[in-house]
């Protein structure tokens, strides 16, 4: 099937992009890895496509203090490879799971987040890190935290006349560690279930945040600090990863039971997804804790 007819424009400035977006039926295209299949199947019929690849400002990847700013036209492969992006380790851990290399070479970070597929990796990373989405129109700019951005399957807080011009990720701090894992039937497929984890340790305190995807209409973030502390009470504060994983495995089934609310599909039942989340959460929380402790000790030794 071919896409329905549409007009095509290629503005050179953000002002021109948002001006074009004010026309009814307009849609932004950058990498096209999500949008083009939608057009080809006629699940979407925009009257006009706005190609943003000629806007230099939207192709910028920059560090601003404690933040990494990712423009709307920045490719996923660029975020995976450029040294400046190492400041956001969780994104680097997740990107190899996004499709295949060819897809990442064209697909954009903002495009994946704006598409908001419930099984996609980058929306989960944004939710786990508490990223901020910058939305622009001809009337001004607003910033939306990730917790308010994803409103349903393939649905976000972006209004029809708004451009997701950049995503702001917080860079990793001392004492932070991360984990990411997912399970798919084949590499490159969307995940049946997956987790993104951030753990922060500071002397005797520990906090842990777990974001699950593929199990609900939106990425689901829960605080698992208490579960991690309970596991550490059994293992001590400096456990091997194997011991900590074993201790965490007693707690993660309850977490999985709370976060999985999908009714299931032809690929996996809710019960199977709970098992996946439980196993992935124990594995990645233990990984994140060990790396957080290492980060804390390395900073202290400098």
DSSP codes of every residue in 6-19: -EEE--SSHHHHHH
Give how many domains the chain has, as a whole number.
Answer: 3
Residues 181 and 291 in one domain: yes
Residues 111 and 187 in one domain: no
Residues 234 and 264 in one domain: yes
What confidence score (pLDDT) does residue 2 get?
87
- The length of the chain in residues reads 302
User: Taking the alpha carbons of 231, 236, 241, 247 in that order, is the dihedral positive or negative?
Assistant: negative
In a domain, 1, yes or no: no
Residues 150 and 259 in one domain: no
Q: How far apart are CA 202 and CA 179, in angstroms?
A: 18
Domain boundary among 170, 195, 213: 170
Q: How far apart are CA 300 and CA 302, in angstroms?
A: 6
Task: Give tens-digit pLDDT for 202-259.
Answer: 988 999 999 999 999 999 999 999 999 999 999 998 999 999 999 999 999 999 999 9
Residues 234 and 279 in one domain: yes
In a domain, 193, yes or no: yes
Average model confidence (pLDDT) across the chain: 94
For the cut 60, the answer to whether the pLDDT of residue 167 exceeds it is yes
In a domain, 29, yes or no: yes
Residues 182 and 292 in one domain: yes
In a domain, 302, yes or no: no
In a domain, 164, yes or no: yes
User: Taking the alpha carbons of 29, 79, 273, 208 in that order, is the dihedral positive or negative?
Assistant: negative
Residues 42 and 68 in one domain: no
In a domain, 63, yes or no: yes
For the cut 70, the answer to whether the pLDDT of residue 9 exceeds it is yes
* Beta-ladder partners of 67: 64, 170
Domain boundary among 170, 195, 223: 170
In a domain, 2, yes or no: no
Residues 41 and 68 in one domain: no
Query: Which CATH number belongs to the domain containing residue 147 in this structure?
Result: 3.30.465.10
Residues 281 and 223 in one domain: yes
What would the mean pLDDT of 91-109 be, rounded to a whole number? Answer: 95
What would the mean pLDDT of 95-114 be, rounded to a whole number? Answer: 95
Residues 211 and 266 in one domain: yes
The residue segments making up the domain with residue 32 are 7-51
In 85-149, beta strands by DSSP E: 132-137, 140-145
What would the mean pLDDT of 56-84 be, rounded to a whole number? Answer: 96
Query: Which CATH number belongs to the domain containing residue 218 in this structure?
Result: 3.30.390.50
Query: Which CATH number belongs to the domain containing residue 20 in this structure?
Result: 3.30.43.10
Q: How far apart are CA 280 and CA 160, in angstroms?
A: 37
What would the mean pLDDT of 108-119 be, rounded to a whole number? Answer: 96
pTM for this prediction = 0.94
What confidence score (pLDDT) does residue 297 get?
80
Residues 186 and 254 in one domain: yes
In a domain, 186, yes or no: yes
Residues 198 and 291 in one domain: yes
Contacts of 208 (CB under 8 A, 6+ apart): 197, 198, 199, 200, 223, 224, 225, 227, 228, 285, 288, 289
* Beta-ladder partners of 165: none
Mode of pairing for the β-strands spanning 132-137 and 140-145? antiparallel
Are 191 and 174 spatial neighbours (Cβ–Cβ below 8 Å)? no
Domain boundary among 15, 36, 51: 51
Helix (H) / strand (E) containing 297: helix 270-301
Contacts of 233 (CB under 8 A, 6+ apart): none
């Amino acid at each position: 099937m071919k896409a329905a007819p549409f007009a095509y424009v290629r503005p050179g400035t953000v002002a021109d992009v948002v001006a074009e977006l004010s026309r009814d039926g307009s849609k932004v295209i950058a990498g096209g890895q999500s949008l083009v299949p939608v057009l080809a199947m006629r699940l979407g019929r925009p009257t006009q496509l706005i190609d943003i690849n000629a806007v230099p400002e939207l192709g910028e990847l920059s560090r601003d203090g404690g933040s990494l700013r990712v423009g709307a036209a920045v490719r996923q492969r660029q975020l995976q490879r450029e040294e400046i992006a190492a400041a956001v380790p969780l994104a680097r851990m997740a990107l190899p799971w996004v499709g295949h290399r060819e897809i990442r070479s064209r697909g954009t970070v903002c495009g994946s987040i704006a598409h908001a597929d419930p099984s996609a990796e980058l929306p989960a990373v944004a939710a786990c890190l508490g990223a901020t989405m910058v939305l622009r129109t001809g009337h001004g700019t607003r910033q939306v935290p990730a917790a308010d951005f994803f409103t349903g399957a393939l649905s976000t807080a972006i209004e029809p006349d708004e451009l997701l011009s950049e995503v702001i990720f917080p860079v990793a701090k001392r004492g932070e560690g991360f984990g990411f894992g997912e399970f798919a039937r084949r590499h490159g497929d969307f995940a049946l279930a997956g987790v993104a984890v951030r753990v922060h340790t500071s002397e005797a305190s520990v906090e842990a945040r777990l974001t699950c995807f593929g199990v609900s209409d939106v990425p689901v973030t829960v605080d698992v600090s208490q579960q991690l502390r309970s596991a550490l009470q059994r293992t001590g504060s400096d456990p091997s990863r194997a011991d900590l994983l074993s201790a965490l495995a007693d707690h993660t089934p309850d977490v999985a039971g709370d976060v999985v609310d999908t009714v299931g599909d032809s690929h996996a039942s809710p019960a199977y997804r709970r098992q996946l989340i439980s196993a992935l959460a124990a594995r990645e929380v233990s990984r994140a804790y060990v790396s957080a402790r290492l980060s804390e000790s390395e900073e202290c030794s400098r």
